A and B are shown apart, each in its own frame.
Chain A
């Protein structure tokens, strides 16, 4: 059964820093991996989707990479801003989406 973990559980950084969020999954037989953002009390917003055949995807200041063989994905956020403060979740898609518990990010002004 697929299990998805995320490290760290919480992260606090000063504005302007570059940062990396980590996502690990136990079953490498996935079709894609998605990263989401969730603001408090809200639904999830899709940020990036990486197909299993791809190594990375970029959108603005966000870059996500995927290494299926090692069961890892990272989300890189460049030049962080207070508006980036939210919880970031990853989800691995095999037969269904399996979500990690998320990393709660605080960017301090």
Chain B
């Protein structure tokens, strides 16, 4: 089935650790996105990529990093510089970055312990 796969579903991070969230899509989409969702708030854009080997910061990029070495993969690293990383992280993709229908993965829960 075509879609977006995020892993792991649940992740626990110790203080000072970097962790990486995986996002893979087999929809042949050029654009990919990472969002953060906190309770009672809308989604906030962390990073997005319009094409392989290119990405741009979103509204809350500080403490996060990404790479886009392959069209189907857009991993997100939550670094120790992110002071409040506990949240629900959503990866998404669309055919292009021109406002087409956007498709989401099932999300990853990150908790700091």
In the complex, are the beta carbons of B42 and A49 less than 8 A apart?
A: no
A83 at the interface (CB under 8 A from B): no
Size of chain A's interface in residues, with CB distance under 8 A? 23
Beta-carbon contacts under 8 Å, A3-28 to B: 4, 9
Interface size class of B (residues with CB under 8 A): 20 to 34
In the complex, are the beta carbons of B42 and A43 less than 8 A apart?
A: no
Query: Which residues of the partner chain A approach B41 to less than 8 Å between Cβ atoms?
Result: 101
In the complex, are the beta carbons of A42 and B103 less than 8 A apart?
A: no
A45-B104, A46-B101, A46-B102 known; 13 new pairs, CB 8 Å cut-off, are A34-B102, A41-B107, A42-B106, A43-B4, A44-B43, A89-B42, A91-B102, A93-B99, A97-B102, A99-B42, A100-B42, A101-B41, A102-B42
List the interface of chain B (C-beta within 8 A of A): 4, 6, 33, 35, 40-45, 48, 58, 88, 90, 92, 98-99, 101-107, 109
| 5 interchain residue pairs of minimum CB distance | A99-B42, A43-B104, A93-B99, A99-B43, A31-B99
List the interface of chain A (C-beta within 8 A of B): 4, 9, 31-32, 34, 36, 41-46, 49, 89, 91, 93, 96-102
